[in-house]
């Protein structure tokens, strides 16, 4: 199986086009319409179209954090969200037919944290788990990957969330997930249980839309963390729309997720997600609906990814749009690509590599995740990833990555 790297779920059957990677003129956002809301469709029907919004507050550049012995615990990135123990099937089939499962860990934000730590960054994961065996396992497993877990809360009354899933691609109807997270310890995260100081001292704060769906308290926390304020770290937000977490469907999720995305500095959104939750038919509509983020990354499935960089807009410059195709990948398990893509993009952003390089590093990190059985993978060594990310457009367009490609001694195949 081959797959694109940029889609939020690792869409199968893709050959990435080579070619138009160079900067283009920005897709014109609808800037003269004034703020707008997502209209809630009656009865949970089709999501409404989104007009261009407006928010107040300034968008910061990535704050510079001294990398000195005086600040050895200052994180590059803080990732906040629920992590759960996941049970992976020992063979394909319906949940009803799978006789046994193996234990692993899962959680969008902790996946990003683990991938960034493996790439050499200082990372803190902030979450909340039960004071139980599953909570012990999560904290120990994430810490073992080099992530700072000292700010994780332990809840004596609420359990750690768990879930079971099938082996099928999440993009297919055969995929099943059974969550046991209602009333979990993570659902009790709130402005009262998560001190702001525990998440605000990094260069980047990474969040996702999953947290907003867990409870009213979690949504209040997300709104506090994304509110404009002096000294706020750069806020990265991955839409991560999960229909099963929103009983009201797009009518409930759409306005909430749109508001959070508009408050963020860097936003990741799959074009398929945007169509599902906001009724936006194409990348141009997504760009028009989200003019606030300094950088907006739209994942395009088989067509790779598109990033709109508005860094120079404050000085009167034009936003720049960069499209980068995804290399072909021999997929082992079609999960974890979206989180890995975000980690690769954030890693390159921290290193100041530029937008095109950041997209390519996102693709490469996603390829590492897609070529292993679970959600987490060891990334390629930095020099190896840098060499591939620096290929010219023609060579990049012929990349074909399979299991084991992240090793320095592995050949990267071309057609």
Instruction: Give the residue numbers marked as catalytic.
Output: 339
C-beta of residue 307 within 8 angstroms of C-beta of residue 143: no
Distance CA 337, CA 163 (A): 19
Closest to 379 in 3D by CA, of 391, 369, 389: 369
Distance CA 240, CA 12 (A): 19
**Residue 94: exposed, middle, or buried by beta-carbon count in 10 A (0-12, 13-18, 19+)?**
exposed
Largest CA distance in the chain: 61
Distance CA 314, CA 189 (A): 35
Place of tokens 């065996």: 133
How many helices and strands, by DSSP H and E, does the chain display? 11, 17
Q: Angle at Cα 314 formed by Cα 201 and Cα 39, nearest 5°?
A: 80
Determine which helix (DSSP H) or strand (DSSP E) holds 24, and give its type and residue range.
Answer: strand 24-25
C-beta of residue 375 within 8 angstroms of C-beta of residue 335: yes
Dihedral of CA 35/79/386/366: which sign? negative
Distance CA 234, CA 294 (A): 10
Q: How many CB atoms lie within 10 A of CB 69?
A: 6
Query: How much helix, strand and coil, in percent to the nearest 5, is found in the chain?
Result: 30, 20, 50
């Amino acid at each position: 199986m081959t797959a694109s790297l940029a889609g939020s779920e690792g869409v199968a059957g893709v050959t990435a086009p080579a070619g138009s990677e160079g900067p283009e003129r920005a897709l014109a956002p609808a800037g003269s319409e004034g703020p707008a809301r997502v209209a809630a469709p009656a009865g949970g029907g089709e999501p409404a179209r989104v007009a261009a919004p407006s928010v107040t507050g300034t968008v910061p550049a990535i704050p510079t954090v001294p990398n000195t012995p005086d600040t050895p615990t200052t994180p590059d990135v803080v990732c906040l969200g629920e992590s759960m123990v996941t049970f992976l099937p020992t063979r394909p089939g319906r949940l009803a037919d799978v006789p046994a499962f193996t234990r692993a860990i899962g959680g969008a934000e902790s996946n990003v944290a683990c991938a960034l730590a493996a790439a050499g960054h200082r990372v803190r994961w902030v979450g909340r788990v039960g004071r139980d065996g599953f909570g012990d396992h999560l904290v120990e497993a994430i810490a073992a990957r080099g992530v700072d877990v000292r700010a994780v809360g332990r809840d004596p009354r609420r359990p750690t969330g768990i879930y079971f899933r099938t082996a099928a691609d999440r993009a297919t109807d055969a995929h099943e997930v059974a969550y046991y997270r209602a009333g979990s310890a993570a659902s009790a995260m709130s402005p009262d249980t998560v001190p702001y100081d525990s998440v605000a001292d990094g260069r980047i704060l990474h969040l996702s839309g999953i947290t907003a769906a867990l409870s009213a308290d979690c949504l209040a926390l997300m709104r506090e963390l994304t509110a404009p304020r002096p000294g706020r770290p750069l806020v990265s937000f991955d839409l991560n729309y999960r229909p099963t977490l929103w009983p009201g469907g797009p009518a409930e999720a759409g306005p909430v997720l749109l508001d959070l995305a508009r408050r963020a500095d860097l936003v990741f959104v799959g074009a398929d997600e945007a169509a599902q939750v906001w009724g936006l038919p194409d990348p141009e509509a997504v760009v028009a609906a989200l003019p606030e983020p300094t950088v907006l990354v739209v994942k395009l499935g088989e067509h790779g990814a598109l990033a709109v960089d508005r860094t120079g807009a404050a000085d009167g410059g034009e936003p720049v749009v960069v499209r980068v195709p995804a290399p072909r990948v021999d997929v082992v398990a079609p999960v974890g690509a979206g989180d890995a893509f975000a980690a690769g993009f954030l890693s390159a952003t921290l290193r100041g590599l530029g937008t095109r390089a950041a997209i390519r590093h996102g693709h490469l990190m996603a390829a590492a995740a897609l070529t292993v059985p679970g959600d987490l993978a060891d990334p390629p060594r930095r020099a190896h990833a840098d060499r591939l990310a620096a290929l010219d457009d023609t060579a990049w367009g012929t990349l074909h990555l399979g299991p084991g490609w992240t090793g320095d001694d592995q050949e990267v195949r071309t057609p």
